């Protein structure tokens, strides 16, 4: 099974369309969205192509393939535009016999892990910084941000396939990678 992860769209139709182009190229079995769908947030600048309604329309077109969680910039008003659930603080996915704990990262985070078992996988967004590491026997991962990357990182997304989590730039370069099993 192949999964694609994106985070921190922040209302950018421009960057969402680039991510959906990668989604079409990668052909994953599912798209996992780690929150911050529509609103840019008070600390962020307006991203390129800011169009929250357009973002909702693009995502609704592929709703059967989306698993999503709420970010700190998401609200009930945003859920009213989306045709798939995104208000949960976390979800868990069973992948090749491993538990993946998926959240935005403003509650539980790489710095504040939930109760997990050694070998489990924790994936968050929120920081806009890609991560592929192991902490206390837990795989800790972050695909970065598609629209507003930080710390001089490129706009990025991630793919989990064949036991490898790979963060990729839209230019096709590997930003981070880790063998999970």
> How many separate helices (H) and strands (E) can be counted in the chain?
3, 11
Do 74 and 35 contact (CB within 8 A), yes or no?
yes
- CA–CA gap between residue 166 and residue 26 (Å, rounded): 12
Do 89 and 114 contact (CB within 8 A), yes or no?
no
Strands (E), 7-106: 30-33, 66-68, 90-95, 98-103
- CA–CA gap between residue 90 and residue 103 (Å, rounded): 4
The CATH number covering residue 64 comes to 3.60.21.10
Cα-based torsion angle of the residue sequence 74, 78, 82, 84 in order, rounded to the nearest 10 degrees: 40
Give this prediction's pTM.
Answer: 0.97
Q: Determine the structural domain holding residue 117 and report its residue range.
A: 3-179
Number of Cβ within 10 Å of residue 153's Cβ equals: 16
Edge-first strand order for the sheet with 3-6 is: 66-68, 30-33, 3-6, 156-161, 164-169, 174-179
Count of domains observed in the chain: 1
Whose structure tokens read 């509650």?
Answer: 107
Residue-wise pLDDT tens for the chain (181 aa)?
A: 999 999 999 999 999 999 999 999 999 999 999 999 999 888 889 999 999 999 999 999 999 999 999 999 999 999 999 999 999 999 999 998 899 999 999 999 999 999 999 999 999 999 999 999 999 999 999 999 999 999 999 999 999 999 999 999 999 999 999 999 8
Over the range 52-91, which residues count as b (16 or more CB within 10 Å of their CB) and which as e?
A: bebbbebbeeeeeebbbbbbebbeeebbeebeeebeeebe
């Amino acid at each position: 099974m192949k999964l694609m992860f994106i985070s921190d769209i922040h209302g950018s139709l421009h960057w969402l369309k680039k991510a959906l182009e990668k989604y079409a190229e990668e052909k994953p079995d599912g798209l996992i969205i780690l929150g911050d769908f529509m609103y840019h947030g008070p600390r962020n600048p307006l991203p390129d192509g800011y169009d929250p309604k357009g973002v909702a329309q693009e995502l609704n077109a592929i709703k059967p393939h989306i698993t999503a969680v709420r970010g700190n910039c998401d609200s009930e008003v945003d859920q009213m535009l989306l045709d798939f659930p995104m208000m949960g603080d976390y979800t868990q996915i069973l992948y090749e016999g491993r538990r993946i704990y998926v959240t935005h990262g403003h509650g539980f985070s790489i710095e504040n892990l939930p109760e997990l078992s050694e070998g489990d996988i924790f994936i968050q967004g929120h920081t806009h910084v890609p991560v592929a590491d192991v902490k206390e026997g837990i795989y800790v991962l972050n695909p970065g941000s598609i629209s507003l990357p930080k710390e001089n990182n490129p706009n990025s997304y991630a793919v989990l396939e064949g036991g490898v989590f790979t963060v990729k730039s839209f230019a096709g370069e590997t930003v981070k990678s880790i063998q999970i099993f």
